[in-house]
Amino acid sequence: MPIDNPILVIGATGKIGSRVADRLAARGHPHRAVSRSTAPAFDWENPAGWARAMEGMHSAFVTYVPDLAAPGAPEIIEQFTATAEASGLRKVVLLSGRGEHGAELSEDKVRQSGLDHVIVRASWFNQNFDEGMLLPSILSGTLALAAGDKLEPFVDAEDIADVAVAALLDERHNGATYEVTGPRLMTFADIAREISAASGLDVTYVPLSVEAFHAALLPAIGKDGADLLADLCAEVFDGRNEWLGDGVQRALGREPRDFADYLAAAIANGAWRQAA
Ligand SMILES: NC(=O)c1ccc[n+]([C@@H]2O[C@H](COP(=O)([O-])OP(=O)(O)OC[C@H]3O[C@@H](n4cnc5c(N)ncnc54)[C@H](OP(=O)(O)O)[C@@H]3O)[C@@H](O)[C@H]2O)c1
């Protein structure tokens, strides 16, 4: 792809989008990093503003919020791809979630569009524990989730961003669906133990029923958010994701980072220091 093909990065202040934008900036590749708080803004809830953000762009890295499995997401993604085509975009790299039926319907909308596309279908992110929704749980010492003793191949945001940037910049990835995971299947009890050992915190995993998890979320994030997260846990922690993907290896020709590498980097960057 010629260097002057600019890339729209949607969700550019988030865990993955910020890393994608940083990598493009480091290469000097023209890009426009957008979220609800940028000018121009990009808000999934305001389709009237999408074309302005897309103006002059060749490709887009797409983070959909709250989740591609949320009710109505496939219809919104269909509207997004139509607007993208009408705005002259040629390619979409979509960040998706692994083992989510609703997300697969959203992926299909991208595949059925006239756009070149790459699907980056990720397992749970390592960075949920220090940058994301599970940070307060780690700081409180209690990691309570409806995940039982199921195994998950947690993946590093740095690897997801590396795959996304490769997919954006190199046309040979077009049409691929990359199942990006880490190299190790781990339970949440393993995670609590490894974070505790590396950080000096005392973190315990408490498995909850889906009903108890929903009840615990309700006061904090309301019914829609609690429904979404409880349904997602019920779906993806039924054993379907207890296998390693090969998306990092296929896209980049190297092995993914291990959870131990993540811990070392996170602690070097000051993760969880506020709990000490
Ligand atoms: N976390 C996981 O383990 C996991 C695993 C697989 C897939 N995923 C998928 O990854 C995506 C989340 O990526 P992430 O963790 O990098 O995001 P994130 O860290 O939660 O950040 C969300 C980004 O989206 C922006 N945003 C929030 N609401 C928006 C809206 N209504 N319209 C436009 N932008 C909005 C935010 O910026 P502003 O607030 O400034 O708008 C921010 O840039 C979701 O689609 C999720 O399903 C997550």
Q: Which residues contact 260 (CB under 8 A, 6 or more apart)?
A: 194, 198
CA 161 to chain centre: 9
Encode pLDDT of 67-98 as tens digits: 999 999 999 999 999 999 999 999 999 999 99
Which amino acid is it at 251? A
Strand order in the sheet with 31-34: 31-34, 7-10, 59-62, 91-97, 116-122, 177-180
Give the integer Cα–Cα distance in Å for 135 and 125: 12
Mean pLDDT of 240-264: 98
- Ligand 1 within 6 A of 261 CB? no
Mean pLDDT of 45-50: 98
Give the integer Cα–Cα distance in Å for 238 and 206: 17
Relative to the CA of 131, which ligand 1 atom is closest?
A: 19
Instruction: Name the superfamily (CATH) of residues 7-125+155-181+243-256.
Output: NAD(P)-binding Rossmann-like Domain (3.40.50.720)
Which pLDDT value is given to residue 2?
Answer: 47
DSSP 186: B
- Ligand 1 within 6 A of 95 CB? yes
Residue nearest to atom 34 of ligand 1 (CA): 35
As a whole number of Å, the CA-based R_g of the chain is 19
Which pLDDT value is given to residue 276?
Answer: 62
Plot region of 26 (φ>0 → left; ψ -120 to 50 → alpha; else → beta): alpha
DSSP 115: S
For 97, the 3-state DSSP assignment is strand
pLDDT at 25 over 50: yes
pLDDT at 1 over 90: no
DSSP 126: G
> Tokens in use for 45?
């809830």
Best residue among 64, 65, 179 to mutate for probing ligand 1's pocket (most ligand atoms within 8 Å of CB) is 65
pLDDT at 3 over 70: no
Give the integer Cα–Cα distance in Å for 95 and 9: 11
pTM of the model: 0.98
Which pLDDT value is given to residue 275?
Answer: 75
- Ligand 1 within 6 A of 214 CB? no
Encode pLDDT of 165-218 as tens digits: 999 999 999 999 999 999 999 999 999 999 999 999 999 999 999 999 999 999
Plot region of 68 (φ>0 → left; ψ -120 to 50 → alpha; else → beta): alpha
Which pLDDT value is given to residue 274?
Answer: 82
Place of tokens 């019920």: 234
Encode pLDDT of 116-143 as tens digits: 999 999 999 999 999 999 999 999 999 9
